[in-house]
């Protein structure tokens, strides 16, 4: 298809890209083994930080909570955002649709501090207990816009003939939805899900404002430690999390490549 030369150029570009993305991560990982205690001046290899990490039960609980919040909030946000996007797409009045989409993006432009502060007021007025629930709701709330943003373009790209064909073949609206539309926009949903995960894992300000009762996420904990120095056990933690996620990613990919037929049969049953 393309000349061999441009293929190599492309490969090279991708390799440079990956180096660019992973150098800071590699730096972090290397220093998690630093006997020196800081993220500079590597003075020797040690596993001390990993040992310190595993004896810090509070931190471990925080990590688990962070992952739970991220996965749950992204899953719910993807669901609500997708059906919202679909609903918006089929909205007839263009003016209304456009203003709703504008409203949708308001949360993306607002700095976390503003969102956090306004959510706190909201929760206080509504009498919602600050803790796991409030954090979960807040994360769902700020993840929905990005899901919509990722799903809508896919909806626009969908050939209208697709829906017409399905309806002509006698499919009821519900089936058109599940058998035609959703499979088509799945890439958008996945993009939205992963972007939501990113938003949730990285969030500090909003979580800080709406949390309570001793519930904390990793971001809040790390930022709070910044004043007195971030211990390398955080590096150790990040390394482990990173490694686990890598494993999951490769594992999921391996399964979807090899065991596709077997898994498909299982789902069918």
Partner 1 sequence: MTRTLKWTLLAPYMLWLVVFVIIPIALIAWNSFFDLEGRLTLDNFVRFFSPTYLKMSFISIWYAFLITFISLLVAYPTAYVLSRTRHKQLLLLLIILPSWVNLLLKTYAFMGIFGMYGLVNAFLSLFGIPPQEILFTDFSFIFVSVYIFIPFMILPIYNAMEEMPRGLIEAAQDLGASQWTVLRRVIWPLTLDGVKTGIQAVFIPSLSLFMITRLIAGNRVITLGTAIEQHFLVTQDWGMGATIAVVLVAMMVLTMRFAQTTPKA
Partner 2 sequence: MQGILRLYVFVGIFVLLLWSTVGAVERYAYQATNDAIIVYNWGDYIDPDLISKFEEETGIRVIYQTFDSNEAMLAKIAQGGTPYDVAVPSEYAVSRMIAEDLLIPLDMKAIPNLKHIDPRFLNQSFDPHNRYSVPYFWGTVGIVYNKDVLGEGAITRWEDLWDASYRNSILLVDGAREIMGMALNSLGYSLNDTEVEHLLEAKAKLDELTPNVRAIVGDEIKFLLETDEATIGVVWSGDAAEIMSENEAFDYVIPEEGTNLWFDNFVIPKTARNVAGAHAFINFMLDAENAAMNAEYVGYATPNLAAHTYLPEYVTNDRRFYPDEVTQAKLEVYRDLGKVMLGRYNELFLEFKMHRK
Q: Contacts with partner 1 in 94-153 (CB under 8 A)? A: 100-111, 113-115, 117-119, 121-122, 140-142, 144, 146, 148-150, 152-153
Rule CB under 8 A: choose which of 242, 247, 259, 260 binds partner 1. 242
Least distance to partner 2 from the beta carbon of 95, Å?
32
Give Cα 200 distance to the centre of its chain: 6
Q: Which of 25, 22, 74 is nearest to 192 (CA)?
A: 74
Position 117 contacts partner 2 (CB under 8 A): yes
212 binds, among partner 2, partner 1, none (CB under 5 to 8 A by kind): partner 2
Give Cα 77 distance to the centre of its chain: 10
Q: How many residues in the shown chain lie near partner 1 by CB under 8 A?
A: 92
Position 71 contacts partner 2 (CB under 8 A): yes
Phi/psi at 45 (nearest 5 deg)?
-90, 135
**Rounded Cα distance, 124 and 206, in Å:** 14
**Rounded Cα distance, 258 and 242, in Å:** 24
Least distance to partner 2 from the beta carbon of 8, Å?
34
Q: How many CB atoms lie within 10 A of CB 7?
A: 11
**Rounded Cα distance, 240 and 47, in Å:** 13
Least distance to partner 2 from the beta carbon of 229, Å?
6
Q: Which of 254, 144, 235 is nearest to 195 (CA)?
A: 144
Rule CB under 8 A: choose which of 19, 35, 60, 247 binds partner 2. 60
Please say which residue, 17 or 35, places its beta carbon nearer to partner 1.
17
Q: How many CB atoms lie within 10 A of CB 126?
A: 9
Q: Which stretch binds partner 2 (CB under 8 A): 24-32, 90-98, 127-135, 239-247?
A: 127-135
Asked if 87 contacts 70 with a C-beta cutoff of 8 angstroms, the reply is no
Name all contacts of 18-24 with Cβ < 8 Å and 24+ positions apart. Answer: none
The strand pairing partners of 45, in sequence order, are 34
Residues 6+ apart with CB under 8 A from 96: none
Please say which residue, 94 or 261, places its beta carbon nearer to partner 2.
261
Position 197 contacts partner 1 (CB under 8 A): yes
**Rounded Cα distance, 150 and 191, in Å:** 6
Q: Give, as ranges, the residues between 210 and 249 that touch partner 2 (CB under 8 A).
A: 210-214, 216, 220-221, 223-229, 231
Least distance to partner 2 from the beta carbon of 145, Å?
20
Least distance to partner 1 from the beta carbon of 85, Å?
8
Least distance to partner 1 from the beta carbon of 266, Å?
21
178 binds, among partner 2, partner 1, none (CB under 5 to 8 A by kind): partner 2
**Rounded Cα distance, 254 and 257, in Å:** 5
In the complex, the residues that contact partner 2 under the rule CB under 8 A are 37-41, 56-58, 60-61, 64-65, 67-68, 71-72, 75, 117, 120-121, 123-124, 129-131, 178-179, 182-183, 186, 189-190, 193, 208-214, 216, 220-221, 223-229, 231, 263-264, 267
């Amino acid at each position: 298809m393309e000349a061999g030369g441009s293929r190599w150029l492309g490969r090279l570009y991708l390799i440079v890209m990956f180096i660019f993305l992973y150098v800071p991560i590699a730096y972090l990982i290397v220093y998690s083994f630093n006997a020196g205690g800081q993220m500079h001046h590597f003075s020797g290899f040690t596993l001390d930080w990993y040992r310190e990490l595993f004896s810090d039960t509070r931190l471990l609980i925080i990590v688990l909570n962070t992952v739970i919040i991220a996965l749950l909030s992204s899953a719910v946000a993807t669901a609500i955002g997708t059906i919202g996007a679909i609903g918006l797409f089929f909205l007839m009045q263009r003016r209304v649709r456009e203003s709703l989409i504008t409203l949708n993006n308001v949360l993306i432009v607002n700095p976390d501090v503003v969102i956090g502060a306004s959510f706190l007021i909201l929760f206080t007025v509504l009498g919602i207990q600050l803790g796991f629930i409030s954090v979960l709701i807040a994360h769902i709330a700020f993840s929905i816009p990005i899901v919509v943003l990722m799903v809508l373009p896919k909806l626009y790209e969908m050939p209208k003939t697709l829906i017409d064909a399905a309806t002509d073949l006698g499919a009821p609206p519900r089936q058109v939805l599940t058998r035609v539309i959703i499979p088509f926009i799945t890439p958008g949903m996945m993009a939205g899900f992963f972007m939501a995960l990113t938003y949730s894992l990285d969030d500090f300000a909003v979580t800080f404002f709406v949390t309570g009762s001793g519930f904390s996420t990793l971001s809040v904990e790390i930022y709070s430690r910044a004043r007195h120095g971030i211990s390398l056990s955080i590096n150790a933690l990040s390394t482990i999390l990173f490694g686990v996620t890598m494993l999951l990613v490769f594992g999921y990919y391996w399964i979807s490549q090899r065991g596709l037929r077997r898994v498909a049969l299982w789902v069918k049953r």
